[in-house]
A and B are shown apart, each in its own frame.
Chain A
Amino acid sequence: MRIIETSKIVEEVEKLCINSNYYLGEDIIFKYKEGITKEESETGKEIFEQLYENAKIAKDFKKPICQDTGMAVVFVELGEEVHINGNLETAINEGVAKGYKKGYLRKSIVKDPLFRENTNDNTPAVIHISIVKGDKLKIVVAPKGFGSENMSQIKMFPPAAGVEGIKEFVLKVVEEAGPNPCPPIIVGVGIGGNFEHSALLAKKALLRNIGDRNKNSYYSELEIELLEKINRLGIGPQGFGGKITALDLFIETYPTHIAGMPVAVNIGCHVNRHKEVLI
């Protein structure tokens, strides 16, 4: 048994919260640069220039890229040979609270969905834990803003809807979202499992880096096809019209029931943040 102290987890989660909000992934910054030349709409080009400059200011001045520093979504892969000295979830939440305070990140969480009192430390996080082989602990922090989260949808299809049903649904979700989720967006699609698992797959899909294709060639081709179709909708950067509405689209799948085909679409904005650590 390898022992990991909770103090180590607190410290790492704190850093991940701050770093994910200050330092945008190079994969996305590259897409901004590409957008400056590839986008055909003049307004759209200018939006890409602003996003590129914004990411640079955030990095240089250690400021949040976006003021919506999100609800902290934390994925944990816990090796079965690891023993944690203390409570894992408590440690994660302590790390989130410390990170959001120390990093001057916005506290956006309310205690109750109807009685909306701010918890003032951005906790609790949404935590997903899975047990894996080995003696390591992997933590991914993915702060998620709600401009894009609010535009996400889920649908329980009958199997007969087939791939055409999925395509139509994904395009409908993106079209209905329009300018609201801060395009250029990143689209996470979860297919299969059951009601709640498809949503989790869609969220997990957003953890991939731009250009990382699904390992299955059928689904990787579907990713590319859907991305091209989305970029023909004309929504464009910020919804002002243009050729680049989405930077990428990722599909995750899971076995499902003979009677169903759940499909979840989780929209991510262009500030699609995720940082990880392996302990």
Chain B
Amino acid sequence: MNEKSVKKTVKLTTPLKNEDLVNLKIGDKILLTGIIYTGRDAAHQKFIDTLNRGEKLPFEIEGSVIYYVGPAPAKPGEVIGSAGPTTSYRMDKFAPELIKLGLKGMIGKGKRSKEVIEACKKYKSVYFGATGGAAALIASRIKSSKIIAYEDLGPEAVREMYVEDFPMIVVNNTSGEDLYEEGKRKWKEL
């Protein structure tokens, strides 16, 4: 396996643009810096309800990145509690509409639907995998965090975070490839 020769580390800064994304290969390691937003199931339902009412989302969606996370509470003096990714398929129903509006990155863990992978290809968006369960490590890369919407949702409220060198891997890129399928195919022993 000459994996090392094809995988690279790429530093990205938000907001993301198409030219930042179109050359990314599945398996590339990314260190992300800048503002990102959080949202899980309940927040996504609210995003879609907001759009259906013809109202504006609580943040600028064009070029944005949404991190699927419900953090643990911060201790006094901490920016945030442990904050690893949640399983992404629960957001599959909502993601294509947001991608169409300019969402450029999603961070989570686990498989996405065909519709999400297609939307990533069509509208140039990328699904990044963060390490599930590495929640204390990831929290150390989150430098600021504030709730900007839906405070009533508790751990599911929408936060604006500033992250530095947030570690992630390209899972679904703008060419419609899927690291989960490719990885299994490459490493499976018959």
Contact = CB atoms under 8 A, between A and B. Distances in A.
> Could you say which of B7, B110, B133, B155 has the most chain A C-beta atoms within 10 Å of its C-beta?
B133
B134 A106 contact: no
Contacts of A108: 70, 155
A147 to B, nearest CB: 5
A178 B180 contact: yes
Contacts of A182: 109, 132-133
Interface stretch (B52-60, B71-79, B143-151): B71-79
B20 interface: no
Contacts of A69: 72
A212 interface: no
Contacts of A106: 70-73, 81, 155
A contacts with B: majority SS: loop
Interface residues of B, number: 50
A119 to B, nearest CB: 11
A97 interface: no
B187 A64 contact: no
Contacts of A104: 72-75, 81
Interface in A226-279: 232-236, 238-243, 269-271
Contacts of B109: 147, 179-180, 182, 238
Nearest to B154: A118
B167 A67 contact: no
Contact of A67 (B83, B89, B140): B83
A234 B188 CA distance: 4
Given A180-B89, A182-B132, A234 B137 contact: no
B27 A240 contact: yes
A62 to B, nearest CB: 8
Contacts of A57: 136-137, 140
Nearest to B90: A150
Contacts of A234: 183-189
Nearest 4 pairs of A and B residues by beta carbon: A241-B183, A234-B188, A234-B187, A182-B132
28 contacts: A41-B3, A41-B183, A42-B4, A43-B29, A43-B169, A46-B29, A47-B131, A53-B134, A54-B136, A57-B140, A63-B81, A66-B133, A66-B135, A68-B84, A68-B135, A104-B73, A104-B81, A106-B155, A118-B154, A147-B132, A178-B180, A180-B87, A182-B109, A232-B189, A234-B187, A239-B110, A240-B27, A241-B187
Interface of B: 1, 3-4, 7, 27, 29, 69-75, 81-84, 86-87, 89, 109-111, 129, 131-140, 154-155, 167, 169, 171, 179-180, 182-190
